[in-house]
Amino acid sequence: MAEGDTRSAEQADAETRARIIGILVADKWQAHQTIFEHRHQHGGVPVEPAPFHKELIEDFWSDDRYSIRMAFRGSAKSTLGEEDITLAACLRQFHNILVIGSSETRAAERLAAVAYELANNEYLTRLFGDLKGAVWTQTKLVTTGNVCIQAMGRDQDIRGVKYLDYRPDLVFVDDVESPESVQTPEQRIKTLRWFLAELLPACAPNVKVRIRATPMDAESVPMRLQRESGWPTKTYPVEYLDEAGKRQPSWPAAYPLAWIDRQRQNYAALGELGVWDREYMCKAVSDADTPFKREMIRVNPREKSWHACYAFIDPARTTGRQSASTGWAVWSWIQNRLVVWAAGAQMLLPDEIVALAFDIHERFDPVWIGAELDGLEQWLMQPLRHEMVKRGRSLPVVGKHAPKSKLDFIKGLQHFFNNRECEFAQPLPELTEQLLNFPRGRIDAPNALAYALQMRPGLPVYDVFNGAEHIVHDLDYDHTKPLFLAANATGAMTTAALVQLAEGRLLVLADWVMEGNPGECVDIIHREATLAGESVRAGIKSETRHWSDMLKQAAPMPYMRARAPTWIYPPHHAERYTNVGLVQAIGTIPADRRMGGEEVRGQLQMRDLLGRTAGGMSLVQISGLASWTCRALSGGYSRSLVRGRIQDAAEEGPYRLLVEGIESFLALSHARREEEDADNQQPTGVDPFGRVYKTAVPMRN
């Protein structure tokens, strides 16, 4: 080939290369797809790029001096940065490029990828020739085009970063922080000060800084630069909501929704949703935002006995994917310690929520089953009442107002967990998972448990009550002595307890708490109480906690054989103008009835009896089937704490109504014993016919 032809070929080749380079300069996105196609793989398989990848490339080459791009782990942000730096060195866009990592080793890894492409990429060598310069080490490269690329770690001495007369004019900061470096405020401040006081002043006045990060903490360097200095920032989580509110994967080809759901569930099951949010959703949280730590969760196996317990159900109204689950918890306060017996969170339909309430009632016999007032009044109470009628059971349901801030409400539990004043009686995986993930993910079980702070019992009226001594299962009574129904009522509720006082011992065999006025309830209670007393007399036992199951076994018994109890009612029911019809309803049965004594006197009697024993047995014995009375004395009948002050009277409600009926019965019995004692002390005489009579004055000798 002639010399002219050679020059023409070389000139044509140079023009072709210049034209191609011009195209690459004009279209950086296409340059990446062409020159670095072999790098665009996921799991060793070629994969379509994500839409946001183009935005990352455009940001690198933009005219902005500073920019922050936060993206999820595995988003290829570092890979694209390496490619951008490689192109920048080839095009001689900068003189001194600085790559900053969390350590010099991490930064050197980025530099090694750049060095490999500069030395081995066929596209680049054909376009730009041999790029490997005189300096080619693990931490510093100098190309044949006199472009220097250096790798440095966080907090490293910045001296020596200058190349010839050039200070760094491009700084690529790649995940400058690590989980260890953001553990304390002091470590976070140290990194920020190094960045502001050491790194930036060492750079050229016109330096461009590109930060690529997965945020490690709410107070990390990228977060503070964005929040306090206004650095332009964009965030790319692994998924997002589109304009229609539907979930979309940010990189469909590499991380589809199925993968996202599977991985998120794995993190949730381990109580590490905080890690998921940080690494994949780019939601940086501080340590203060994760109030419950794994070391706070204490499991101390124990069996529930007579301790008063409480329950709360936080019902979900829908069961769709985006809806809340129904959270529930059962607990006791034992010596100011919160003991959690059971808890959970499930997607439940309305009828399943009702079934859950009855299951909790059967298993734990709580003093109260709480539910948020709005849901209770609007849709839950009616099916509950229907089921109560169907099963012949009354549940102690109480409504509670929902908190203004559910997150702050749940954080109220942190004190008890942190001070080792809360323990689980058994492993509770659902509650544990949601506590550890709080405030991320579902929080329905912790929300239910947080109501323990509202439903904490006040001061029991009978603090001497001890269920281990006073509750007797399969309690029998003296069949030769009468039974009584200690009754009480309001216009909307009627209560009664089947009791006997024999040889100074108070026995409570069964009880009733029914919604409705006395006219609706008295006849039902009278019939059931008559059969209940005869069932105990016949020796019929039951495995359940409720006497109504015994009645099913006693049903074939002829009603006329049963011995009807006598009704006792508090004195205020005999008042002319303020009575609620209890006495009148008893009279229509008809049944024997007597007015009881003042509740205050009966309360003194009850306290005295609870504290005494005879023959190794307490003078108060309550059948396990009298569940309302058991719950009342173990905690339901109590004086509430209002603004730090114990109230003088017990809280209004079914427990007070029931126990005051028993107290009135005790007051009457005590008054009768006093009369009998007075009669026994009065002297007697004998008339001429041999009949004994009581004298008005003592007999003289």
Per-residue model confidence (pLDDT) at position 198:
92
Same domain membership, residue 516 and residue 411: no
Q: What is the pLDDT of residues 542-551, one digit of tens each?
A: 444 555 555 5
Q: Is residue 240 part of a domain?
A: yes
Distance CA 587, CA 590 (A): 5
Estimate to the nearest angstrom the gap between the alpha carbon of 596 and the chain centroid: 47
Residue 120 has pLDDT above 70, yes or no: yes
Name, in order, each residue with C-beta under 8 angstroms of 358's C-beta and a sequence gap of 6 or more: 387, 391, 393, 395
Q: What is the pLDDT of residues 308-324, one digit of tens each?
A: 899 999 887 655 544 56
Same domain membership, residue 632 and residue 492: yes
Residue 90 has pLDDT above 80, yes or no: yes
Same domain membership, residue 238 and residue 130: yes
Same domain membership, residue 653 and residue 615: yes
Q: Is residue 9 part of a domain?
A: no
Same domain membership, residue 520 and residue 422: no
Distance CA 620, CA 460 (A): 17
Residue type, 334: I
Q: Is residue 20 part of a domain?
A: no
Distance CA 252, CA 221 (A): 30
Sign of CA dihedral 78, 81, 86, 89: negative
Q: Which of 456, 478, 506 is the last residue of a domain?
A: 456
Q: 144 near 133, Cβ under 8 Å?
A: yes
Q: Name the pLDDT band for 18 (thresholds 50, 70, 90).
A: confident
Q: Is residue 396 part of a domain?
A: yes
Q: Is residue 60 part of a domain?
A: yes
Q: Is residue 334 part of a domain?
A: yes
What is the H or E stretch that residue 37 is in?
none
Q: 494 near 517, Cβ under 8 Å?
A: yes
CATH of the domain at 501: 3.30.420.280
Same domain membership, residue 201 and residue 350: no
Name, in order, each residue with C-beta under 8 angstroms of 461's C-beta and a sequence gap of 6 or more: 603, 637, 638, 639, 650, 659
What's the token pair of residue 512?
């009733």
Q: Name the pLDDT band for 273 (thresholds 50, 70, 90).
A: confident
Same domain membership, residue 103 and residue 177: yes
CATH of the domain at 155: 3.40.50.300
Return the percentage of the chain with pLDDT > 70, whole number: 87
HSE of 100, CA atoms in CB hemisphere, 13 A:
27
Q: Among the listed ranges 184-193, 445-454, 683-692, which one has the minimum average pLDDT value?
A: 683-692
What's the token pair of residue 215?
């945020």
Same domain membership, residue 507 and residue 573: yes
Strands (E), 490-588: 493-502, 505-515, 566-569
CATH of the domain at 438: 3.30.420.320
Same domain membership, residue 522 and residue 400: no
Residue 256 has pLDDT above 80, yes or no: yes
Same domain membership, residue 330 and residue 207: no
Q: Is residue 13 part of a domain?
A: no
Q: Is residue 149 part of a domain?
A: yes
Looking at the 3D structure of the chain, how many domains does it have? Answer: 3
Same domain membership, residue 393 and residue 253: no
Q: Which of 403, 431, 456 is the last residue of a domain?
A: 456
Residue 60 has pLDDT above 80, yes or no: yes
Same domain membership, residue 528 and residue 406: no
What SS3 state is found at 482? coil
Closest CA to 467 of 281, 334, 313: 334
Distance CA 458, CA 646 (A): 7
Please give the residue range of the domain that contains residue 600. Answer: 467-680
